[in-house]
Structure 1
Amino acid sequence: MYQLRMQRGVNLGSWFALEAWLTGSVFKSAKNPKQSDLDVASGMNTDEAKKVLEHHWDHFINDGDWNWMKSHGISAVRLPINYVHFVASDSKYSSLLKGTDFASFAQVYEGAWSRVDKAIKKAASHNIGVLIDLHGAPGGQNKDAHCGKSDGNVNLFNGLGAHSNKKTTIKILVELAEAVASYENVIGLELINEPVNHSSLESFYEDAIKAIRSSKNKDVARLPLYLGDAWHSHHYAKFVGSHSDAANPLVMDHHLYRCFTKKDHSTSAEDHAKALDVNNGHTAKFLKGLADETGGNVIIGEWSSALNPGSLKNCASKSEAKKAWGMSQWMAFEQFTSGYFYWTLKKEGGPDSGWCFYTAVEKGVMPQSLNPLQSSRHRNPQELQQACDQAMDPLFKEHSKYWDSKNVKGQHEGYVQGFRTAWKDSLSFLQQGTEPGLRQTLCKLRTASFESQGHKDAWEFEHGYMQGLKSFKKLLYQ
């Protein structure tokens, strides 16, 4: 249920993987340029750095935050960590830290993982899932300081140490998967955050997936793995679509921002919002294409309500323009993805409706609840339960007519069982206040079970199942 449901979430940015613009107070004694975890650890002696970081880990996200998230429809959080937060926790991982940028800071970070463990368990107590995101890999997978260091070198893919860094990263991912798969509410593991589009990225993904899937622990072997698309979106959408199955659930992560490029700056807030109109917007069509290529296994791992001032300069009401932009994203992601995670829950400084989810909700830029099922807009479960066969009847007749015309005649009982199973599953999710998210993965699991019972018409079951999920959702919001 945790892994396969619709993930409506936020990022807990700069709780562990630090960013100076979000939590500047942690960087007061950091080494220049005062931008990364490594700068913080390098700017103080061991005891001072340990004290500063552990105080931050213990207080930045608190019980009030968890209660607020739950009450505002958040069902999952994406938790960015750097490799040092994990491997410094136990001496058995010391070889994985050797030779890395954080090799001399094990003592500073030795208490980090116990805090991550506490966070996962706290989330579970609120029925909130956790996506563990390896935000910083050995050597760095991008040029940005949020990967843990500020030198701008992408040594996971470039330079003499790249081969060793990739091997170490895969070993860390295997150990990390082993560590988190036992938590019921861990929804998946993101292999690396925002990697550069390097020629060896795909082979890195293949090697990491193979290594994790080789685990003798069945929970590890079937843990959903999330792959950043390196903004080479259609390529990795096809990769996920062709490699993901019931035994190898893969999900593509696309990050969508519209505030960084010159084109973003010169595009009005109104046009940004129109591009995500679910009926005709070109960005909405792009998302639909990703959904089609991945079989629905696509999330928006990062997005925000932020716009450049250039997009707002001619707006009659900047607040209304921001609201239209924020809401258009939310509605498109609800329509075309299996989940989304706002960047970020909270940040230091004054109110910021572009980047702080708290402020965005307070200012009406985002809805009071991310979960539309918390409103009264949907049908009640009892009514839906009784509507199954009525919804199926015209679709079943169409299915039978088409395949009978192709000389594939029969009772088409597989289709009926598939449709009814999907309806039953959808009702089960609804009882938990949610909907299926990774629909294709759920379908493949159910189809595999159907086929294992000796049925020969699994393809009809699969067709019926997918139509059942689609019909249920359509009726749910009528």
Structure 2
Amino acid sequence: MGILDKIKDLSKPAVSGDQQYFQPSPTSTSLPLEQSLKRYRKQRGVNLGSWFTTEDWLATELYKHAVEPRGSDFDLARAPNAKALMEHHWDTWITDSDWEWIRSKGFNSVRLPIGYYHLAGVWPDIVKGTDYAPYADVYEGAWPRILNAIDRAGRYGLGVLVDFHAAAGAQNTDGHSGMSGGTVNFWDKSNLKSTALALRFLASTLAPNPHVIGLELLNEPKNDSRLQKWYESTIDELRPLTGPDFPIYVSDAWDTNWYAQWAGRRSDFIVVDHHLYRCFTPEDKAIDGRGHAAKLAHEFAPKFIQLCGQAPIVVGEWSAGLDDSGLPPDTPASERDAQKRAWVTAQLDLYERAAGYWFWTLKTDRPWDAGWSAYNASQAEILPASMVRRTLRQPGDRTAACHQACDAHCAYWGAHGGKPNAHVFNSAFCRGWDDAAMFLRSEGQAEIGFVTPWSRHRRDEFAQSGQLGDDAWQWDHGFEQGVQALTAQALE
């Protein structure tokens, strides 16, 4: 059965206990076509910040009802009438007009931050013994709304990256981790147990969902010597539930080089998430938007592009945000927007080299913020009119392109002591070309974003014919060159 063949869900009904939450996904490498296209395409998305995991500077009206120190969901959970307050917020923050706008701007996915406490209604044990245990009733209605959000996104052709933004005990010191205390208690035994239960539930529930493009294990965890081992043990627990081909995203914990090398050594679908902001440190505040654009292109980009060749990397959060304090006070708004526009253009030029990216964030409830609101950034023409910035054209002849590439491949390796296998290379090149064309013809006209995992699927299929032998590397070269050749010819 080929990767594009549709398969039936063979999961049996739940029986009892934990089994009702943990139904393994099919282990076949086959996926329904629509699901494959959504998960493997280049992701051009936007974050739905402050919908479920909230932030005081984004949802300012909501936080007027919070108790002191008014810095996290925990302070909202303890507010008077918290249940009604939160349910009203969830029901009104994102509406159909938002989904329509997201699609109209060429975004093809959203990143949806949630916390462990949003699962209190569907599985109370997840919050048992945690800070949120006394407030579990506040979140009884959260999970059905999260499922509805995923369904609504899917109806608009959008994929959903579910981001586990707030773990028990807090994985970082910021309020968006669910606590206001500024202390990381994630590593406490009871909190690790809660996190494991939450992630197992999410993985088993979300992996079969055709609109879900991945699960992010933790958002911006504070780097720790235990983190990689935790990633590995957690993934080992989740893979029997998801199969090897469900995309699991991991934060780089601000050490992209380390986690790119780690992910590149794995054979399952692991994506490294890097977040990039240039507005918080004293050094960043001293540089204007054009200066940041130049530094990004000349200093950061070469290394980042190199890392993108080692493993699938995305930029899960980025923005137009700049600290304008270094500009003269009388700088006109048009110039401030021009600085942001230069900064955004440089970022997009770079992030197109990655597997995907998500702008932070869709909206705020403040009157105007073109640095952080996609709505305002679009109105100010800081973001492009559409995230689909290239148009399709008719590609050239596949056979001629394949012959040219294969001749070069065979000539090079023949002259350097290799044993070129023209049949394997040709087969891979043509498959890469055809698949790249298929992705571009699909809804949203997105390229293959995760070329290496997709190539690995196709290579495994080809191996079943008995023709691959020891030439997996030649398949990889041919497939990637086929994708690159078609993409270069079909996009302008």
Q: What TM-score, normalized to structure 2?
A: 0.88
| Residues 269 and 312 in structure 1, CA contact (< 8 A), matched pair in contact too | no
- Unpaired segments ≥5 residues, structure 1: none
Name the structure 2 match of 1:468.
Answer: 482
In the alignment, residue 75 of structure 2 is paired with which amino acid? D
1:64 to 80, 97, 103: 97
Name the structure 1 match of 2:11.
Answer: none
Name the structure 1 match of 2:323.
Answer: 308
Residue 458 of structure 1, CA deviation: 2.9
d(CA) in 1 for partners of 2:301, 2:416? 35
Count of residue correspondences? 449
d(CA) in 1 for partners of 2:259, 2:328? 36
1:77 to 87, 93, 110: 110
Name the structure 1 match of 2:156.
Answer: 126
SS across alignment from 2:215: strand
d(CA) in 1 for partners of 2:368, 2:400? 50
| Residues 288 and 324 in structure 2, CA contact (< 8 A), matched pair in contact too | no
Name the structure 2 match of 1:423.
Answer: 433
Deviations 1:91-129 (A, max 9, x none): xx2222111011111111010011101100000101100
d(CA) in 1 for partners of 2:208, 2:454? 20
Q: What TM-score, normalized to structure 1?
A: 0.91
Deviations 1:159-214 (A, max 9, x none): xxx13322321221111111111210100000000000111111110111000012
Task: Please say if 1:263 is aligned against 2:280.
Answer: no
* Residues 130-139 or 410-419, more deviating: 410-419
Task: Please say if 1:89 is aligned against 2:104.
Answer: no
Deviations 1:300-343 (A, max 9, x none): 00000011114544978222221111111111101x21100000
Residue 474 of structure 1, CA deviation: 2.1
* Residues 314-323 or 260-269, more deviating: 314-323
Residue 283 of structure 1, CA deviation: 1.5
Residue 396 of structure 1, CA deviation: 1.5
d(CA) in 1 for partners of 2:97, 2:240? 40
Deviations 1:416-444 (A, max 9, x none): 11010011101110111111011111111
Deviations 1:61-108 (A, max 9, x none): 00000001111001000000000112x122xx2222111011111111
In the alignment, residue 157 of structure 2 is paired with which amino acid? N
SS across alignment from 1:134: strand
| Residues 306 and 354 in structure 1, CA contact (< 8 A), matched pair in contact too | yes
Q: After the TM superposition, which residues 59-458 of structure 1 pair with which residues of structure 2 at under 5 Å, given as runs? A: 59-86=92-119, 88-90=120-122, 93-157=123-187, 162-215=188-241, 219-243=242-266, 245=267, 248-277=268-297, 281-294=298-311, 297-313=312-328, 317-334=335-352, 336-373=353-390, 378-380=391-393, 383-384=394-395, 386-409=396-419, 412-432=422-442, 433-455=445-467, 456=469, 457-458=471-472
d(CA) in 2 for partners of 1:398, 1:42? 67
d(CA) in 1 for partners of 2:121, 2:158? 24
- Unpaired segments ≥5 residues, structure 2: 1-36
Do the aligned partners of residues 313 and 255 (structure 1) sit closer, same or farther apart at CA in structure 2, a change above 3 Å counting? farther
| Residues 409 and 420 in structure 2, CA contact (< 8 A), matched pair in contact too | no
d(CA) in 1 for partners of 2:197, 2:466? 39
SS across alignment from 1:340: strand
1:22 to 28, 47, 58: 58
Superposed CA RMSD in Å reads 1.6
d(CA) in 2 for partners of 1:324, 1:358? 18
SS across alignment from 2:160: strand
Deviations 1:260-303 (A, max 9, x none): 011101123212111233xxx21111320220221xx1000000
Fraction of identical pairs, as percent: 38
SS across alignment from 1:179: helix
| Residues 171 and 186 in structure 2, CA contact (< 8 A), matched pair in contact too | yes
Residue 361 of structure 1, CA deviation: 0.8
SS across alignment from 1:31: coil
Residue 220 of structure 1, CA deviation: 5.0
d(CA) in 1 for partners of 2:304, 2:369? 27
Residue 408 of structure 1, CA deviation: 4.0
